[in-house]
Amino acid sequence: MQQRAIILAGGQGTRLRPYTISIPKPLMPIVDKPILEIMIQQLIRHGFGHFTLAVNYQADILKAYFGDGSKWNVTITYSLETRPLGTVGPLTLIDDLPDDILVCNGDILTDLNFGRFFDQHRREKRLMSVSAANRVQIIDFGVVKPDENGLLRAFEEKPKIPYLVSMGIYCLSRQVVDLIPRNTSFGFDQLILRMLAENQKVHIETHAGYWLDIGRPDDYQQAIDDWPRLKTELGI
């Protein structure tokens, strides 16, 4: 059986307007090809052969570009939302999900080894695995820390605060889809909170390499600047 990936490609890309008024965000070009095509080519190299694009906004344009996948010798199918269902709600529309699924946002540029991430999730029979990236928040001010009497206890000039963020790439067992309500908008954040409330295990895999969500103009330009180097590394 071909490894299956669900790619969420139905967002309106409001943070990238005016670019996304006439073109869906997954088709935004990173120099010489759309970001979603880059992702699909990466996934093919890591053993994936069946892709379902969850589409809504400007779905006809995406279908016209990607077709049935024969251009890349893979299978591409579509799941059409008649109304927005959030970031995980679209999974409830797909009736033929395999036991384990890779789910990705369609606007991500990364050097993640998708195959290794998916294989570890499946091998360890996890319910859910979330790929996470390190980020650092720089505070642009001197931070004061008073004691209980209002006297200065510590001071730090422009501290850097490290944290982990979800990369918009995760693996899940088909049974997790049962936690997602049908016919309503439901987000990744809501699913995670539901799993935490029900004491369900969610594994975090930290990715130390490159990751960028192109949702904002500055990040989109950064992706274009980084692509020549990354393209060579990925061999695409």
Q: What is the CATH number of the domain that holds 37?
A: 3.90.550.10
pLDDT at 22 over 70: no
The dihedrals phi and psi of 225, each to the nearest 5 degrees, come to: -65, -35
Residue 142 falls within a domain, yes or no?
Answer: no
Count of the separate structural domains present in the chain: 1
Residue 159 falls within a domain, yes or no?
Answer: no
For residue range 27-46, list pLDDT tens digits in order: 888 988 899 999 999 999 99
Residue 117 falls within a domain, yes or no?
Answer: yes
The pLDDT of 150-171, averaged and rounded, is: 92
For residue range 71-98, list pLDDT tens digits in order: 999 999 999 888 888 889 999 999 889 9
Domain that holds residue 184: 3-132+165-234
Rounded Cα gap, residues 186 and 106, in angstroms: 18
Residue 30 falls within a domain, yes or no?
Answer: yes
Residue 160 falls within a domain, yes or no?
Answer: no
Q: What percent of the chain has pLDDT over 70?
A: 94
Residue 189 falls within a domain, yes or no?
Answer: yes
